[in-house]
């Protein structure tokens, strides 16, 4: 069974695997390795890896710079031919459940043994070990995903940053983040911080991943802190994020029980007020109350003034007013008397 996360990853991977000739040509102009006899497979583009125990919300996405061309130097000499064959086969057979699964299984099989042998893996291992993700089983990379910012291979000595920045325009990293929604992203690419010269953004609409970047050579973060210092802090934040993801479903279930859902309406859990929101609400209520009190006091004062003034009026004026009032009252009485007389007549018609 392919999970929704795997399905989204496969869609992304397919887009990389079927990279068009225009991008490939530009990649090579920027220094990407070109295919020539004895350098088989450089025409391919590499999506990376997603572990078989990877879960969105708790998994960690690890990001490198670009694949080297020296894969055969690594501990696993079968990694290169197996991955190349799997990718070619996938492209040739096109998408189907069987073809997708076959590719995914081969990638997993190779990466589980191959990835932990990379020199590059060292810094990632320090952080993930502190999170507690590597203790659970020997196959320690099953909960992580891997990708490189550049999807091609590059020979040693190439200006990786220029190549990577170019590749990011067509294959922005947030596409991978959106597909697999990791708890955190770790990258050993020094200048790959948010809005830097390589990555426009790590933020994806459906993910709120923590992002940690460091200098892959020195292990120092942007503030210049050593690996063992920042890794401690990063690990505790990642562990906290993973734990809160597990609490989330329980919290939603509690909310669902409290709020009855009208039929055919999507469930919209009411978000709790943030402390500053609550404070704003309290202040606006207090302000309203104060305004009402002020208005009432002003009205009472005005009424009192009017009363005082009328009391201070001259006797003549008072008499005049009384006479006028008397006349008016008499007129009203007469009018009402006429009206009363007329009424029964109307009714009798
Ligand atoms: Zn590229």
Kindly state the percentage of the chain with pLDDT values over 70. Answer: 79
Rounded Cα gap, residues 123 and 182, in angstroms:
19
- Please indicate, yes or no, if residue 157 is contained in any of the structural domains: yes
Does residue 349 lie in a domain region?
no
Q: Do 311 and 198 fall into the same domain?
A: no
Instruction: Give 212-248 pLDDT, tens digit per residue.
Output: 999 999 999 999 999 999 999 999 999 999 999 888 7
Instruction: Calculate how far, in angstroms, residue 166's C-alpha sits from the geometric centre of ligand 1.
Output: 7
- Residue 242 falls inside a structural domain: yes
Q: How far apart are CA 49 and CA 61, in angstroms?
A: 9
DSSP secondary structure letter of residue 64: E
CB atoms within 10 A of CB 6: 19
CA of 60 to the centre of ligand 1 (A): 23
Q: Measured in angstroms, how far is the CA atom of residue 254 from the centroid of ligand 1?
A: 47
- Residue 137: DSSP 8-state: -
Contact 5, 180 (CB under 8 A): yes
- Counting DSSP H helices and E strands in the chain, the numbers are 10, 7
> Is 330 found in the same domain as 224?
no
Residue 323: inside a domain, yes or no? yes
- Number of domains present in the structure of the chain: 2
Q: What is the pTM of this model?
A: 0.70
Residue 70 CA, ligand 1 centroid: distance in Å: 18
CA 23 to CA 16: how far, in whole Å? 11
**Domain-terminating residue out of 234, 250, 266:** 250
Ligand 1 centre to CA of 21 (Å) is 10
State in Å: Cα 198 to ligand 1 middle. Answer: 13
Is 27 inside a domain boundary? yes
| Under-70 pLDDT residues of the chain | 70-76, 135-139, 251-252, 254-279, 305-307, 309-321, 336-349
Q: What's the helix, strand, coil split of the chain in %, to 5? A: 55, 10, 35
CA of 5 to the centre of ligand 1 (A): 24
CA of residue 88 to ligand 1 center, whole Å: 18
Q: How far away, in angstroms, is 190 Cα from ligand 1 center?
A: 19
Domain ends where: 250, 283, 317? 250
CA 23 to centroid of ligand 1, rounded, Å: 6
Ion ligand 1: protein residues whose beta carbon lies under 5 Å: 27, 151-152, 167
Same domain assignment for residues 300 and 241 = no
CB 222 within 8 A of CB 187: no
| pLDDT tens per residue across span 25-35 | 998 888 888 87
Residue found under tokens 């190549």: 163
Inter-residue contact 191 to 197 (CB < 8 Å): yes
64 CA → ligand 1 middle, Å:
14
Is residue 118 within 8 A of residue 33, CB to CB? The reply is: no
Q: Which domain holds residue 324?
A: 275-336
> What pLDDT was estimated at residue 344?
46
Radius of gyration, CA atoms only, the chain: 37
């Amino acid at each position: 069974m392919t999970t929704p996360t795997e399905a989204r990853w496969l869609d992304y991977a397919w887009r990389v695997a079927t990279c068009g000739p225009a991008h490939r040509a530009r990649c090579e102009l920027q220094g990407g390795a070109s295919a020539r006899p004895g350098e088989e497979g450089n025409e391919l583009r590499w999506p990376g890896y997603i572990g078989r125990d990877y879960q969105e919300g708790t998994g960690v996405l690890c990001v490198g710079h670009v694949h080297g061309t020296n894969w055969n130097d690594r501990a696993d000499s079968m990694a290169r031919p197996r991955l190349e064959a799997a990718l070619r086969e996938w492209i040739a057979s096109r998408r189907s459940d069987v073809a997708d699964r076959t590719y995914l299984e081969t990638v997993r099989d190779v990466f589980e043994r191959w990835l932990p042998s990379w020199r590059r893996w060292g810094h990632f291992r320090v952080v993930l070990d502190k999170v507690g993700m590597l203790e659970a089983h020997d196959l320690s990379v099953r909960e992580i995903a891997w990708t490189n910012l550049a999807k091609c291979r590059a020979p040693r000595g190439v200006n990786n940053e220029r190549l990577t920045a170019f590749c990011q325009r067509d294959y922005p990293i947030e596409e991978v983040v959106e597909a697999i929604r990791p708890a955190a992203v770790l990258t050993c690419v020094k200048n790959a911080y948010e809005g830097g010269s390589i990555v426009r953004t790590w933020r994806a609409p459906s993910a709120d991943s923590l992002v940690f970047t460091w200098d892959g050579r020195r292990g120092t973060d942007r503030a210049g802190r050593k690996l063992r210092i920042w890794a401690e802090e990063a690990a505790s934040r990642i562990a906290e994020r993973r734990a809160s993801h597990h609490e989330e479903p329980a919290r939603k279930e509690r909310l669902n029980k409290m709020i009855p859902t009208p039929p055919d309406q999507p469930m919209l859990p009411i978000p709790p007020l943030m402390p500053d929101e609550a404070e704003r609400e309290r202040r606006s209520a207090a302000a309203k109350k104060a305004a009402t009190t002020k208005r009432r006091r002003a009205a009472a004062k005005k009424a009192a003034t009017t009363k005082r003034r009328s009391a201070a009026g001259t006797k003549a004026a008072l008499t005049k007013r009384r006479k006028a009032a008397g006349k008016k009252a008499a007129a009203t009485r007469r009018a009402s008397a006429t009206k009363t007389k007329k009424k029964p007549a109307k009714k009798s018609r």
